[in-house]
Amino acid sequence: MFGEHHDLVHEFPEYREQIHQLKLSDHHFARLFDEYHTVDREVRRIESQIETPSDHYLESLKKRRLRLKDELYEMLRQHSEAPLYSQSEQC
């Protein structure tokens, strides 16, 4: 919707800690996270009429943002389901 925040912490508040951990430990996640927020900022600029490209371009950005969000969510979900092992349990 127009004017809504779509940053990942607003979208997935239950994954706040996992987002932070993955940004620090997983380069792929961090790259997708940055790309997601770049696309989100551009969508918000267009919706705020700071920029006025075609409707088709805006729609393609929104679809890209959704694909990135889906991929990031899947990574967060998998990370939260992964068992946590201490060093002694791995031996």
Q: What is the pLDDT of residues 26-79, one digit of tens each?
A: 999 999 999 999 999 999 999 888 878 899 999 999 999 999 999 999 999 998
CA 53 centroid distance within chain: 23
In-domain check, residue 12: yes
In a domain? residue 14: yes
Q: Give a yes or no: residue 31 inside a domain.
A: yes
The pTM (predicted TM-score) of the whole model is: 0.79
Specify if 58 maps to a domain: yes
Asked whether residue 81 carries a pLDDT value surpassing 50, the answer given is yes
71 located within any domain: yes
Domain range enclosing 37: 8-78
Q: 90 vs 19, which has greater pLDDT?
A: 19
Residue 78 to residue 73: CA distance in whole angstroms = 9
Residue 83 falls within a domain, yes or no?
no
How many independent structural domains does the chain possess?
Answer: 1
CB atoms within 10 A of CB 35: 15
pLDDT for res 87: 42
* pLDDT value, residue 17: 94
